[in-house]
Structure 1
Amino acid sequence: MKTQSANHKNSHFSINCRGTLIDLSVPKVMGILNLTPDSFSDGGKFNEEKEALKQAEKMLKEGAEIIDIGPQSTRPNAQFLSAQEEISRIGNMISLIKKEFPETLISLDTFYAETVKFGFNEGLDIINDISGGMFDEKMVETVGKTGLPYILMHVNPTYQSMHEKIIEDDIILNINQYFSEKILGLKKFGVKDIILDPGFGFGKTVEQQLQMIDELQYIGFGKHPLLVGISRKSFIYKPLGKQPLEINEETQKLHFQMLEKGAKILRVHDVAQAKKTVDEFLKIN
């Protein structure tokens, strides 16, 4: 066993989703459900209600415990949507999934307070905000009012700059300073359950992202559960000269490494493979 991951081995994290305590001592798989016609990997396939419901069911059967609904693509050069457009894209999706699969936790990938309010009324469990509350000044306050767990991602300060590689100091130091500051702000508004996402694929060089994997155990000082989202990210496939759908093996190796270093949630497109990785990890540990 690696000593460096020891501080995470005994971390018993739980999050409160609408009164239900979710134990994260066993890592969870979060399946990505894109409702976007322009998503970088499965664009347009699941943007119709029936298809989306079928895809959600498939991911749940394969072992996902959280479904992350994304109404807006945040890949480089994606179309920018307003909160209203997001809400109309989501439609009844949250309540439909909740009705069909009541045990499922639903997370909503948005940086808008209005979308969060809408999602909350539909039965949402977790807020997944790539913007760290920086793209909408009402976001943090709104999150506090819902009482839902919040995924805080490390990102550059604006929508326009989120993919620019502008971080020059040590990436781990940069991420930890950002998290310390943002957590204080969230706590001021009464946000209790915070999950940290170091923001793979957002404004970091390949080298910085490899360092993030190597030193994941130092991110957040073991005080909050960590979510990692490396599924189909270019820092893995581009150096290998491969396509996003050709890197499953490499991705699972990296997933395993990050589970060893304390990751509690894997945000993925390929649920069955990620679930297998989690099971292998649990067998060994």
Structure 2
Amino acid sequence: MGILNLTPDSFSDGGKFNDEKSALEHTEKLVKDGAEIIDIGPQSTRPNAEFLSSQEEIKRIGSIIFQIKKEFPEALISLDTFYSETVKFGFNEGIDIINDISGGQYDEKMFETAAETKLPYILMHVNPSYETMHDKIKFADITLEVNRYFSKKNSELLEKGVKDIILDPGFGFGKSVDDQMKMITETEHLGFGRFPLLIGISRKSFIYKPLGKSALDIKEETQKLHMKVLEQGAKILRVHDVAETAVTISEFLQKNKKC
């Protein structure tokens, strides 16, 4: 899953792809480098980011979904939003996946809308409100907490009629460095084996801050962690650096082929 931020304020690539021409050029690069899913983000969710309404998100998206579907029909499109109205707009434009960082907690109509569209839904673990999204919480056992959350939310989604669910443990959202490293080492225990697991650790501060590096200087370290989660059953990697990740995935597949 290659990341396409349409935002002026994302933490590592803000303002680079927030016009149609540059967004399409970046999408072309992502696809050529090996991305099978393009994750479109109209709103930054980094700490202290600008808060947008659904209508502002829709205005920012414009015709980019339609254009990507036209130019790159082989690519799936996921839409990164916590608004049901933005999902409805994206559905009409042709998106393939809903990527909701809120787990339906920031818009009470999200689960219902996901069921209506019948699109795959990415369920992420996160704090219960937009205002507390990045508040660090001390968990007694992060893996147990994430699984309890998944269990509750999965039941709600299934009851609403959402059957195609992808689980995202929510790296970078309200978790300590230690808890996030624990999730890396315990990836095989996250989720219940019934739903595919998405891991999004690309350019996350829990990797680069302890090393005294920047978000752009941890490619090698990130790929080592990608290999770890792949070995534990992760199915989707959400990344900025697609070419490097494609090499890691190829190495993983070759290693497992030999096994």
* TM-score, normalised by the number of residues in structure 1: 0.89
CA displacement at 1:156 relative to structure 2: 0.5
- What is the CA-CA distance between 1:166 and the residue it aligns to? 1.5
Residues 121 and 162, structure 2, Cα contact 8 Å, conserved in 1: yes
For residues 141-220 of structure 1, the aligned pairs below 5 Å read 141-220=112-191
SS of alignment partner, residue 195 of structure 1: strand
Task: Give the paired residue count.
Answer: 256
Paired amino acid for 1:48? D
Q: Does 1:84 align with 2:55?
A: yes
Q: Secondary structure at the match of 1:76?
A: coil
1:132 aligned partner, one-letter code: G
* Matches for 1:223-234 after TM superposition, within 5 Å: 223-234=194-205
1:269 maps onto 2:240 in alignment? yes
Q: Counterparts of 1:224 and 1:217 in 2: how far apart (Å)?
A: 12
The CA distance in 1 between the partners of 2:104 and 2:62, in whole Å, is 23
Q: Where does the alignment leave 5 or more consecutive residues of structure 1 unmatched?
A: 1-29
- Which consecutive residues of structure 2, in runs of 5 or more, have no partner in the other structure? none
Q: Deviations over 1:165-207 (max 9, x none)?
A: 1142200000000000000000111101000000000000000
What's the Cα RMSD here? 0.5
Aligned with 1:172: secondary structure?
helix
Secondary structure (helix, strand or coil) at the match of 1:268 reads: coil
After superposition, give the CA deviation of every residue in 1:232-253 in whole Å (9 maximum; x if it has no partner).
Answer: 0000000000000000000000
Aligned 1:20-35 pairs, distance under 5 A: 30-35=1-6
Q: Partners in 2 of 1:67 and 1:178 — Cα distance?
A: 26
Q: Structure 1 CA distance, aligned partners of 2:64 and 2:132?
A: 30
- Match 1:124 to one of 71, 82, 95: 95
Q: Which one of the candidate residues 9, 16, 39 is aligned to 2:10? A: 39
Q: Does 1:95 align with 2:60?
A: no
Give yes or no for the alignment of 1:133 onto 2:104: yes
| CA displacement, residues 63-118 of structure 1 (integer Å, 9 cap, x when unaligned) | 00000000000000101000000000000011100001111100000000000000
Q: 1 or 2 for the larger relative contact order (CA 8 Å, sep ≥6)?
A: 1
Q: 2:86 aligns with which of 96, 107, 115?
A: 115
User: Which whole-Å CA distance do the structure 1 matches of 2:246 and 2:59 have between them?
Assistant: 32
Letter in 2 for 1:92: S
Q: Does 1:247 align with 2:232?
A: no
What amino acid is aligned across from residue 17 of structure 2 in structure 1?
F
